[in-house]
Structure formats: C-alpha cells, structure tokens
Amino acid sequence: MIEKLALIQPEIVLFITTCVVMVIGLSRTYSVRKACATVSGVGIAIAGVLAIFTPQTDSALLPGLIPYAKTLVAGVGLLLLLLLSGVIDRDLELRVTRGEAFEPARANRGEFYSFFLFSLTGVMLCATADDLIWLFLALELASLPTYVMVAISTPRLRSQEAAVKYFFLGAFGAATFLYGFALIYGATGTTYLSEIRDIIGTDGLGAIGTAGFALALLGIAFKIAAVPMHFYTPDVYEGAATPVAAYLAFAPKAAGFLAFLLLTSTIGWTWGANGDALPDAIRVILWIMAALTMTIGNVLALLQTSVKRMLAYSSVAHSGYMLVGIVVGPGDGSFWQNGLSAMLFYLLCYGFMNMGAFAVLACVERMTGPDGEPIELETLDDIRGLCHTHPVMGWSMVLSALSLLGLPPLLGFMGKLLLVTAGLSGGEYLLVVVLLLNSAVAAFYYLRIVAGAMFEAPDARAGDGVLTTHRGRMIAAVASAASVVVLLPFVGPLVRASQRAVALQPTTAIVTMSEEVSDASPLVRVDDDVTQDR
C-alpha cells in the first residue's frame, strides 16, 4: 500500500487541490472565487514536479510509463488551464464589471475547475493502472467530468445538446469496454494485468479472451475518437466552447491511448525473427481501425467549412496515425523502430500543436451573438487575413496547422517520421502507404487554413474582430505554436524518454534473468526460459 501511495502522489495533490477549489467556489465573494484558476494552476504544477520524480515499480506492466505520462499530462494541462480562462461565468463577470451585484448562486467557476482537475486526475490514474478495475475507474474519471464541462461551457442550447449526445454515446462506449473487461476476467480468473499476461503466455488467449480484448479495445476507441466510435466528435467539438473542445481533443484521447498501451502489452507481443506481432485477431482489428480512422477522418475533414468541425475530424485522423504505432508494437526497441515510443512521442506533439490551433480560434472574437456575448472564430471565412489583422494569432495558427500537416522541419513532421520508420521496420508497408496517402489528403484542408490566414483578404467583418481580454488564452496560443519549433532540439531526449516509458516488464511466470542483461536495455525479450537483451 505504501508503494502504491508513492506512485499516486501527483493524483493525491490534484485531489487535494480539487477539494480546495470546491471550497473556494462556495465563497460569496467574487474576488475569492476568482482564485479558483490560480489554485488549480499551483496544484497542477506541484503534481507535475512530483510526476517527474515518481519512482518506478516492478509491479507495473510498463514501469517507465508512469512518470512520462503524468509529466506530459501536467505540462499540457497547465497550458489548457490558461486556455480555459474566461470560459465559465463570463456573462456574470461582465455584469460585475458594470457595477451590478455579484450573484453567488449563478456562479459555476468552482464546479468547472473542479471537474477539470478531476478529469486530469483520471488521465494520470490511467498510467498507474495495474488491474482492470483500476483502469475502468480511471477512464471514467477522465471522461465523466467532461460531459458537464461541455454542457456549461456556453449559455447556448447547442452546448447542452452536444453534452447529451456525448453522455449517451460515452455510456455506450463505457458499457462496451466494461463488458470486455468482464470477459477477460472470465477467461483468466484475475483482474491484474501482469497476471493476465502470464496466464495468456502460458495458456494462450482463447476465444473468450479474444472477444474480451476486442470489445475492450472497441469501447476505449470512443475515448480516442477512433472509427467506429467517432460519430460524436464534430457535433460535440462544435457545440462546446473552443477551449473545452481543445481539452476534449487531448485529455480523453491521452487516457484512451494509455489504456490501449496497457491492454496490448497485457496481451503480449510474440517475439520472433520477423519482428513483433499481436495475436492475429486483435492485430487485424487494430489494423482495420487504424486505416479506417485515418481515411474517414481526413475525407470528412475535406468537406467542412467550420474550422472547429475540421479540427474535430482532424483529431479523428490523428488517432488513426497513432494507432499505427500500436499495431507495429515495440519492434527491436531502437530509436527509429519502436512503434510504441513513436506513438507516445506523437501524442506529445499532437497535444501542443492541436491546442495551438484551437487556442487561436478562442483568442479572436469576430462577432456578437444574439444575447450580446462575443463569439469565437468558427468558419474558414472568419480566419481570412488573420496574419494581417492579428499577426501574432495569425502566425500561431499557421505554425500549428503546418505542424499538424507534418511539414518539415516542424515538430509534427518528426512525429510522423518516427511512425513511418517504425511501420516500415515492422513490415506494415500497406498501413504506412495508407498513412502517407492520408497525410497528402490532409494537406488540402490544412493548407486552406494556412492560405486563408496568410494570403487572402480579410473578411468584411474583420473590423469587428478583436483580441480577447483574457491574456491566458493568448499565452496558451503563442506557447503552443512556438513549441513546434522550440522543442525540435529536444526531439532526441524526448524520444528516448518515450522509449524508456514503454520498456516492458519481463514476465515472472517462467523466466530467470540472465546476468548478461543490461539495466539500460530498453526492451527485454522473453523466450521460454531465456531472457536476453534485444
């Protein structure tokens, strides 16, 4: 128990911070309630520092995943917190600035930031999960608060409609992977991931186990917005406030991919002369899911005129790219051939560059809604001439879009390069071709955004467009866009960190460790009674 508490110190800090934020949110004083965001930021920063020094444990399936994933979540979470400024209680704050009395009963700031912190806690707990029950609770803790965040993100009815769609489809996804977990338990008799892996290694997966893992992966596909569980994505992203849509594009997706990593590692990789391969049935499911997710996401993005819906389908496509790394597996563990580390690195790249695009949409308010509230940018017409009217925001959008496209030498290019080389080394030539063709398709709609911002004349309504008064959003936009260039010198260390994160724990069922195994080895191969360095 003491060892487990040491592993979840960041989550404990976030939970304590959440409790403090909830208490602050009950204050009848406006100035006290405004401190919710500041307190949340302090808590996330402390959790991030603790995550860096989180000890590894032999009981975890992927011991190195815990510090890497939690640090990534805390870092992106801080930028998302800045981006969320001004989302909640905006109309109430405007009335207070005009001299009207503060109405505590109508303020939701404390609740909103509490749900945000609860969701981040759930994402971190996914990295620590070592059994199916823990993983289920962590996934739901990461997702359930987001339903409420979507509903209260704007006063418009379409936000509530989006939340209802999101909730019911989310419940369906949760029921699917929970039933899969039940079948896995029925096939193995345990919920502990390391024990399940040992049993599968000895007795095989079996029909019930295969069905269980297939249903589990299908249900968790909802979290990452992968086909066939992607239908909610454009409506929910469009209905939610833009900063909340940016949060949805990262946090549930990160939780889902962490769960994918743990489940595929539990199934076990077949080590052989031809490389690594998942059991055939599961591999085929993931292969088809990756190919369809890339293709459907990019093709549907081509048809959009709303930038938010375009980015929503883009989010679907990027999930497909990352699934390529899951299909390929760890390879030989080297820098260019490890699909799992390439996936983790691409998740980091995606978190920053995607948030930059959403942040720009949230920073410029183009028109006034029916109730007098400012409306953020939404359509392609809204971003025309953005580099001329608001150069900082315009160029931030250009950098983010080009990085999402994968234009060299930006960060997104390095992420895709690692996925491609891992796919080629793993023998997944057709899947790599699908990835490259989809990247070419994606160039069309990303370049529409770039060309509109850089070369087209400003829209007739450009005179009405003003920068938001919330400086946190602009800091998040500039920092996210700058990261696609600033992080380039650190690609090597970041990829090596991701390699350490996916170093598999050797099975304990039938293995005696050889004295020749190096402690620095990124991967360990288990072959009958021999463990050797790959």
Query: Which tokens hold the place of 19?
Result: 């409790």
Q: What is the pLDDT of residues 10-51, one digit of tens each?
A: 999 999 999 999 999 888 887 788 889 999 999 999 999 999
Euclidean distance between the first and the last CA atom of the chain, given in angstroms as a whole number = 33
Q: Are 154 and 371 in contact (CB under 8 A)?
A: no
Q: Give the Cβ contact number of residue 41 at 10 Å.
A: 17
Backbone φ, ψ for residue 475 (5° rounding)? -65, -45
Q: Is residue 377 part of a domain?
A: yes
User: CA of 476: how far to CAs of 244, 359, 396, 421, 482, in Å?
Assistant: 13, 7, 10, 32, 10
**What average pLDDT does this structure show over 90-103?**
68
**What average pLDDT does this structure show over 90-115?**
75
Amino acid 269: pLDDT: 61
Instruction: Please give the tally of structural domains in the chain.
Output: 1
Q: Give the Cβ contact number of residue 148 at 10 Å.
A: 18
Q: Is residue 520 part of a domain?
A: no
Instruction: pLDDT band for 518, please (50, 70, 90 cuts).
Output: very low
User: Which among 14, 273, 5, 247 has a CA at the least distance from the CA of 124?
Assistant: 14
**Percent of the chain at pLDDT exceeding 90:** 60
- This prediction's pTM: 0.90
Q: Is residue 493 part of a domain?
A: yes
Amino acid 64: pLDDT: 85
Residue 534 has pLDDT above 50, yes or no: no
Q: Is residue 308 part of a domain?
A: yes
Mean of per-residue pLDDT scores for the chain: 85
The segment with the largest mean pLDDT, out of 52-56, 226-230, 291-295, is 291-295
Distance in angstroms (rounded) separating the CA atoms of residues 354 and 351: 6
Q: Is residue 527 part of a domain?
A: no
Radius of gyration, alpha carbons of the chain: 23
Q: What is the pLDDT of residues 395-425, one digit of tens each?
A: 999 999 999 999 999 999 999 999 999 999 9
Q: Is residue 73 part of a domain?
A: yes
Domain span at residue 478? 2-503
Q: What is the pLDDT of residues 421-432, one digit of tens each?
A: 999 998 899 999
Amino acid 439: pLDDT: 94
Amino acid 456: pLDDT: 83
Amino acid 225: pLDDT: 93
Q: What is the pLDDT of residues 325-342, one digit of tens each?
A: 999 988 777 778 889 999
Q: What is the pLDDT of residues 187-244, one digit of tens each?
A: 999 999 989 988 888 888 888 999 999 999 999 999 999 999 998 999 999 999 999 9
